[in-house]
Structure 1
Amino acid sequence: MPSQMEHGMEMMMFMFHKFAGDKCYLTKDDLKVLMEKEFPVFLENQKDSLSVDIIMKDLDRYQDGKVGFQSFFTLIAGLSTTCNDYFVVYTKQKGWK
């Protein structure tokens, strides 16, 4: 039975391939659908309506319109870091340990 951490890794891989399909990369349209379905709160809180375009540009390492798993993982890591920063501040404000 996988640990919680292993399950989390498995879920990230599954979600990437769910939206990438057999081609094993995300297009801008794939990324937009993934973001709308899996990160709706994040998108709602963006001030720039072109946030998916900006994210795609940042993740498209070779400017070929493709986002591979490694770049996708960079997105997940960045979002997780931002959420963790908020969590740390919030728990300190609440006096939680």
Structure 2
Amino acid sequence: MSKVQQGMVMLIEAFHKYSGKEGDKNTLTKAELKDMLTAELGDFLGKTSDKAALDKIFKDLDANADGTVDFQEYVTLVACITMICHEFFTEGK
């Protein structure tokens, strides 16, 4: 498997590691999202103990306003963070 394919598998596995603990296995609730952000992206985002910040992240991600974050909305978050990291690491080049 190529590195890109491995990355895709890892994204899918990370989503499903947290989704479904509180209901639908294909979505993240706010609590599941918080757990995922803290455990998987804490180094980039810091700890997600700020309730207002978490509420804003969740609201911004929940594009269809159904009260959950589905896989497409999750991938959008990961892509945006990846773009920010790419810009940060390539600014000096």
Query: What is the TM-score when the length of structure 2 is the normalising length?
Result: 0.85
Is the 1:43–1:51 contact (alpha carbons within 8 Å) kept by the matching residues of 2?
A: no
Following the alignment from structure 1 to structure 2, what is the Cα–Cα distance between the partners of residues 68 and 55? Answer: 14
70-79 vs 17-26, which moves further: 17-26
Following the alignment from structure 2 to structure 1, what is the Cα–Cα distance between the partners of residues 32 and 14? Answer: 11
| Matched residue, 1:44 | 46
- Number of aligned positions between the proteins: 89
1:41 CA displacement = 2.0
| Matched residue, 1:23 | 25
Unaligned stretches of 5+ residues in structure 1: 93-97
Is the 2:16–2:26 contact (alpha carbons within 8 Å) kept by the matching residues of 1?
A: yes
Task: Say what the alpha-carbon RMSD is for the aligned residues.
Answer: 2.0
| Matched residue, 2:70 | 68
Query: What is the TM-score when the length of structure 1 is the normalising length?
Result: 0.82
| Structure (1 or 2) with the larger CA radius of gyration | 1
Alignment partner of 2:68: what SS? coil
| Matched residue, 2:12 | 13
Following the alignment from structure 2 to structure 1, what is the Cα–Cα distance between the partners of residues 87 and 55? Answer: 25
Unaligned stretches of 5+ residues in structure 2: none
**Percent of aligned pairs with the same amino acid:** 40
